[in-house]
Structure 1
Amino acid sequence: MTTSTTVAEPSPSAFLSPKFWLAPYALMVSTLYLWGYWGTFDINVLDYIGVSDIIKAAVYPLVTGLIGLGVGALLGEVMAPRLEPGGGANTRLGKLLNAALPALGIGYVVLLLVSLMSDWPNKWLIAGVLVTGPIYLQLKKSAFLANEIPSDSVRSIVIFMLIMATPVAFYRGRLAGTAVVDGGSYQAVVSELPIKGSAANLAPAEKPRFVGKLGDRFAVYDPVARSVSLIAASEMKVLTLADSEVLSKAKPHAAAPASAPASSTGATSTPSPSSAPSAASAQPSSSSPLAKLVP
């Protein structure tokens, strides 16, 4: 005799449980940060790292950024006026806002489009806030996380951070990548590289800049050629990095003479061609297995 078992389908409310969406959400936020950062260099990070490495690669910069977001959410919740739902509709300010609602809606759409089409460094943050703001208001009105977080104030802070973390993650990634390209904040490579033999003798602003590690490759940005080279980790004997601020304040050392004077008469010998980097040695060969040049 056989008995049939009925598999219960999850209820719609089960999809709202943090046990269901928390892990995919963390993966999405981490991916947004990495897309923002590596997208600055026209590199699809998912071509080089697996899903298991995404959260690990983004967790540190995301945590430091979300701390400030959490402080702002806490201050906003403490300072916000306490009103019952719809309690401010009959106030003078409420009537004025209701009357201007159509104009505010048009201005909202225009500001969103202008932000997306502009070259503002902060456009991703502005556009993200405009898009996620209405979502936050709807979730706050609903019963989202009401069973898990009974306190309405704490629930408001958590919902705000969950919603705002998505645009902030992409924005902070793009901001960090732009800082490397523009020279605002970066780590300079001061050791010799397989693709640039004169890295140690370059001016601070011309030194290659460390971008990050993609799988078994190191990414290095060349500010002169404005290109990114991916160097196999097996080809890197040593990687020495220096903070850009420390490097800019360091006093330049005088270059050592290529050779000692030939005699006491003051005549000096001409340095050999091998002591100066040639153009061919400074640029990577297109067939070289050491690095891949990404335009």
Structure 2
Amino acid sequence: MKEIGYKEYGALLAAYAVSISALYLLGFWGAFQLNIMQYAALSDLVKLAAFPLAATFLLNLVGMVHQDLTLSASLPVGGGSESRIAKLVRRYAALISVLWMGACVLTILLVKLTCSPI
């Protein structure tokens, strides 16, 4: 299997950023019955995607550093993997995943059905 290089990751990241930005703009301005794509250029989409992606990256980085500083000594690698709770979660992981996804879909449906658009 061919290994994916940095150039391919960059292309995938750019496509992801542009698509996320376009979907965000369509979702936001669609509530006001405006087609924002008539007024936005590709460069606008890239700029609007950069801020949320950078914020997500920075917040994840802060969380990882905080976890490493506060929990690294109390949670060694593999520590707790044989506890009763860990065994229970591993046994029912598929069921937990299905229930979680079902709850997410049900929440979205309830919001869609009960909330009126702006």
Same fold (TM over 0.5): yes
Evaluate the alpha carbon distance shift between residue 50 and residue 13 of structure 1 in structure 2; reply closer, same or farther with a 3 A threshold.
same
**Aligned equivalent of 1:70, options 32, 46, 58:** 58
Residue segments in structure 2 that go unaligned for 5+ positions in a row: none
Does residue 98 in structure 1 map to residue 90 in structure 2?
yes
Distance 2:5 2:53 in 1: 30
Alignment of 1:32-181 (within 5 A): 32-56=23-47, 58=48, 63=51, 66-67=54-55, 70-76=58-64, 78-79=66-67, 81-84=75-78, 88-119=80-111
CA distance in 1, matches of 2:18, 2:62: 25
Distance of aligned partners of 1:110 and 1:26 in 2 relative to their CA distance in 1, 3 Å threshold: closer
> In the alignment, does 2:22 pair up with 1:31?
yes
Deviations 1:97-132 (A, max 9, x none): 123324313311211211221227xxxxxxxxxxxx
Q: C-alpha distance in 1, partners of 2:5/2:28?
A: 34
* Counterpart position of 1:21: 12
Equivalent pairs counted in the alignment come to 107
Q: Give the whole-Å Cα distance in 2 for the aligned partners of 1:64 and 1:24.
A: 15
Q: How far is the alpha carbon of 1:40 from its aligned partner?
A: 1.7
Using the TM superposition, give the Cα deviation of residue 82 of structure 1 relative to its aligned residue in structure 2, in angstroms: 4.5
Stretches of structure 1 lacking an aligned partner (at least 5 in a row): 1-10, 121-177, 182-295
Question: Displacement, 1:38?
Answer: 0.9
Q: TM-score, normalised by structure 2?
A: 0.61
CA RMSD, 1 decimal: 3.4
Listed as ranges, the matches of 1:249-288 within 5 Å are none
Query: 1:77 deviation in Å?
Result: 5.3
Q: Is the 8 A contact 1:15 1:21 kept in 2?
A: no
CA–CA separation in structure 2 for the residues paired with 1:64 and 1:102: 31
Structure 2 residue identity aligned to 1:75: G
Once the two structures are TM-superposed, the CA of residue 72 in structure 1 deviates from its matched residue by 5.0
Residues 38 and 45 in structure 1, CA contact (< 8 A), matched pair in contact too: yes
Larger proportion of strand: 1
Separation of aligned partners in 1, 2:19 and 2:54: 15
Bigger mean CA offset, 19-28 vs 71-80: 71-80
In structure 1, C-alpha distance between the alignment counterparts of 2:101 and 2:77, rounded to whole Å:
28
> Identity of aligned pairs, percent?
21
Opposite residue 77 of structure 2, the aligned amino acid is: L
